[in-house]
Amino acid sequence: MIEATGVCLRYPDDTLALQDIDLQIEPGEMVYITGPSGSGKTSLLKLFMGIEYPTSGSIKVIGQPITKGQTSGIRELRRMIGPVFQEFKLLKGRTVMENVILGMRFLDLPKGQLKEKAKNSLERVGLTHKALSLVENLSLGESQRVAIARAVARNPVLILADEPTGNLDKDNALKILELLASLKDEKTSVIITTHATHLISREKNAKLLTMDKGTMRWER
Amino acid sequence: MKSIFSNSGYFLKETLTMLRLNVLSNSLSLLSIGLIFFLLAMVISGWWTSSHVAEVIQSEAEINVFYNENIGDAGVSQLVERIQEIEGVRESRLVNEGEAYTRMEKILGEEARVLEVFNDNPFSPFIEVQINLEKIDPVLKELDHLTGIEHIRNNKDVLDRIRNISGILKLFGFLVVIAVGITTLIIISHIIRQGIHNQREQINTLRLLGAPEFFIAFPFLLEGLLLTVGGGILAVSLAAFTLKQAYDQMAGSLSFIPLLPSEVLVSNMVIVVMTLSAILGMFGSLLGLTLSRNN
């Protein structure tokens, strides 16, 4: 699913965000990436999504090399990913249902299926009753669940969640992590960055990767 | 292309949402574009009308030749025949005093009573010479060489003036079309750039989700198109109303001016303005998208 060899990432201001990253993540794996703020968790996820390119080393995500000049390939890659952002990135002025459907509109799915898939996703995250609400009227926990529904509805082979619990209280954060963990199957990998290590200790089947000052270490 | 058709409802809804989000700014833009196109519609209408008047007058170009009445009937017939032979003359015929009087009565209409003050017919017979306007100078030169002619009345000066006015209006029309084109392109491209700036977070999210560029850009194209076409509709409605008023005024006091039928003028104006508005909307939006992309 993801193969990285000797990856370094240096930002234009000369900050070394990642160094010597070697990792392999297989289909159907669940991986938590933890570490303090500024340790490189988000930078790693940005590499996986093709938002950043490695300064050196090589990385392939779902067979797509992440290098400059691969615009259409990276666009294709992103269509196979279900991203969940810390700040949700829901489109304001639109309903919950519209947001979920919008994530599928350009995926070459039959038009008649979009609404059905959106309904199923909302049911999975327990938000069917909010389908027609505007997203700006939702609580933080509900907004995050809409973002997850949008990601799930796309039938992704890789779910990338960047600090999905960052804005939530402990109860809501636990629910969101459980929900994300439930999305993993034999084909779909789930990668979650979080600095809330106390919340992930119970997830024994997941791999745990710790980041520190741009370097990585497998904990389990 | 398939994606455009299958998402047409979404694109339209998205465009209307964008228009709604900046309703004041978009309404003012619509009004500005409408007024610019109204100016264009009026200049084009003036240009067509003056060209038509010039054409009609040119096609009816004629010279009146007044002869010395001492040359007798045979001399007059001979003169008519010789004039007919000049190159550039389409028809040459004698108009006697009686016909000249009747013509003037028709022209004056109700005012023809003024002719009753004369005891005798005040009009002289003349030879009416219909010519090809472009040959007016050689025809006049040939007539100078003929004997028995007292004086010649031609409307060359009037025709030249109308042609000049028509030429100026044509040039002015071209300049207005260019000015309107550039102004509309600037306004639309600015609106699109502003829209892209306002929607940058949404655009970024769509990119992160893997949306193709045309999918992101299409609502902006549609927004520009709707604004210019809306402006065009506003302009042609205003122009049609103004032209109707102008025709009603002219029908009474200036009925002798050979105007184009108002339905023809208005329908041609609608076609030109609406076509231009659609083309300019499309290009303005594309320009705005290109400039935003480069930035």
Tens digit of each residue's pLDDT (9 = 90 or more) over B271-283: 999 999 899 888 8
> What domain range includes position B44?
2-57+160-294
What pLDDT, in 10s, does the model give residues A175-184?
A: 778 878 887 7
Mean pLDDT of chain A: 87
Give yes or no: residues B91 and B9 share one domain. no
Decide: helix, strand or coil at residue B178.
helix
| Domain end position, chosen among B112, B130, B154 | B154
Torsion-angle region of B51 (φ positive above 0: left; ψ -120 to 50: alpha; else: beta): alpha
Residue B198 contacts A where some CB pair is shorter than 8 Å = no
Mean pLDDT of chain B: 84
Burial code (b: 16+ CB inside 10 Å, e: under 16) for A134-149 equals: ebeebeebbbbbbbbb
What ipTM, to 2 d.p.? 0.88
Decide: helix, strand or coil at residue B185.
helix
Q: What ranges in chain B are assigned the alpha helix state H?
A: 2-6, 8-21, 23-59, 72-84, 97-108, 136-144, 156-198, 200-208, 213-253, 262-294
Q: Which tokens belong to A116?
A: 């059905």
Q: Closest Cα partner for A6 from A50, A42, A46, A56?
A: A56
Give yes or no: residues B50 and B76 share one domain. no
Q: Does residue A162 contact residue A211 with C-beta atoms inside 8 Å?
A: no
Which one is predicted more confidently, A70 or A193? A193
Torsion-angle region of A139 (φ positive above 0: left; ψ -120 to 50: alpha; else: beta): beta
Residue A46's closest chain B neighbor by CA? Answer: B208
Which one is predicted more confidently, B122 or B231? B231
Please say if the pLDDT value at position B255 is more than 70. no
| Domain end position, chosen among B154, B170, B193 | B154
Give yes or no: residues B44 and B185 share one domain. yes
Tell me what pLDDT residue B140 has. Answer: 86
Residue A77 contacts B where some CB pair is shorter than 8 Å = yes
Residue with tokens 């789930």: A190
* Amino acid making up residue A104: M
A148-to-A121, A178, A179, A181, B123 alpha-carbon distances in Å: 8, 12, 9, 11, 99
Residue B215's closest chain A neighbor by CA? Answer: A106
Give yes or no: residues B139 and B43 share one domain. no
Q: Closest Cα partner for A23 from A175, A189, A180?
A: A189
Which one is predicted more confidently, A21 or B109? A21
Q: What percent of chain A has pLDDT over 70?
A: 98
Rounded to whole angstroms, how far apart are CA atoms A216 and A176? 25
Give yes or no: residues B176 and B100 share one domain. no
What is the count of structural domains for chain B?
2
Please say if the pLDDT value at position B155 is more than 80. no
Residue A50 — pLDDT band, cuts 50, 70, 90?
very high
Disruptive mutation site among A70, A77, A102 for chain B (greatest number of B CBs within 10 Å)? A102
Rounded to whole angstroms, how far apart are CA atoms A203 and A197? 11
Tell me what pLDDT residue A54 has. Answer: 93
Please say if the pLDDT value at position B107 is more than 80. no
Lowest-pLDDT choice from A22-36, B3-17, B156-170, B231-245: B156-170
Which one is predicted more confidently, A52 or A200? A52
Give yes or no: residues B164 and B277 share one domain. yes
Please say if the pLDDT value at position B254 is more than 70. no
Which DSSP category does A20 fall into?
Answer: E
Give yes or no: residues B18 and B139 share one domain. no
Please say if the pLDDT value at position B178 is more than 80. yes
Residue B160 — pLDDT band, cuts 50, 70, 90?
confident
Q: What percent of chain B has pLDDT over 70?
A: 94
Give yes or no: residues B102 and B171 share one domain. no
Please say if the pLDDT value at position A8 is more than 90. yes
Q: Which CATH number does the domain housing residue B98 bear?
A: 3.30.70.3040
What pLDDT, in 10s, does the model give residues A111-156?
A: 788 899 999 989 988 889 999 999 999 988 889 889 989 998 998 9
- How many other CB atoms are found less than 10 A from the CB of residue A199? 18
Residue B257 — pLDDT band, cuts 50, 70, 90?
low
Q: What angle do CA B82, B83, B89 make, to 5 degrees?
A: 135
Determine whether the interchain pair B208/A83 forms a contact, defined as Cβ–Cβ distance below 8 Å: yes
Lowest-pLDDT choice from A196-200, B2-6, B190-194: B2-6
Rounded to whole angstroms, how far apart are CA atoms A188 and A31? 12
Give yes or no: residues B132 and B170 share one domain. no
Tell me what pLDDT residue A170 has. Answer: 79
Please report residues of A whose CB lies closer than 8 A to that of B211.
75, 105-106
| Domain end position, chosen among B90, B125, B154 | B154
Residue A50's closest chain B neighbor by CA? Answer: B208
Please say if the pLDDT value at position B116 is more than 90. no
Residue B208 contacts A where some CB pair is shorter than 8 Å = yes
Give yes or no: residues B170 and B52 share one domain. yes
Please report residues of B whose CB lies closer than 8 A to that of A49.
208
Which one is predicted more confidently, B9 or A129? A129
Disruptive mutation site among A72, A106, A152 for chain B (greatest number of B CBs within 10 Å)? A106
Give yes or no: residues B72 and B115 share one domain. yes
Distance of alpha carbon B247 from the chain centroid: 14
Give yes or no: residues B53 and B178 share one domain. yes
Rounded to whole angstroms, how far apart are CA atoms B221 and B229? 12
What pLDDT, in 10s, does the model give residues A57-104?
A: 999 999 899 998 778 899 999 999 999 988 889 988 889 999 999 999
Decide: helix, strand or coil at residue A100.
helix
Please report residues of B whose CB lies closer than 8 A to that of A91.
202, 205
Tell me what pLDDT residue B268 has. Answer: 92
What pLDDT, in 10s, does the model give residues B15-55?
A: 888 888 778 888 888 898 899 889 889 888 888 887 787 77
Q: Which domains are present in chain A?
A: 1-80+156-167+179-220 (3.40.50.300), 88-155 (no CATH)
Tell me what pLDDT residue B295 has. Answer: 63
Of residues B7, B21, B208, nearest to A105 (C-beta): B7
Rounded to whole angstroms, how far apart are CA atoms A131 and B180? 46
Of residues A75, A91, A106, nearest to B3 (C-beta): A106
Which one is predicted more confidently, A201 or A204? A204
Please report residues of B whose CB lies closer than 8 A to that of A105.
7, 10, 211, 215
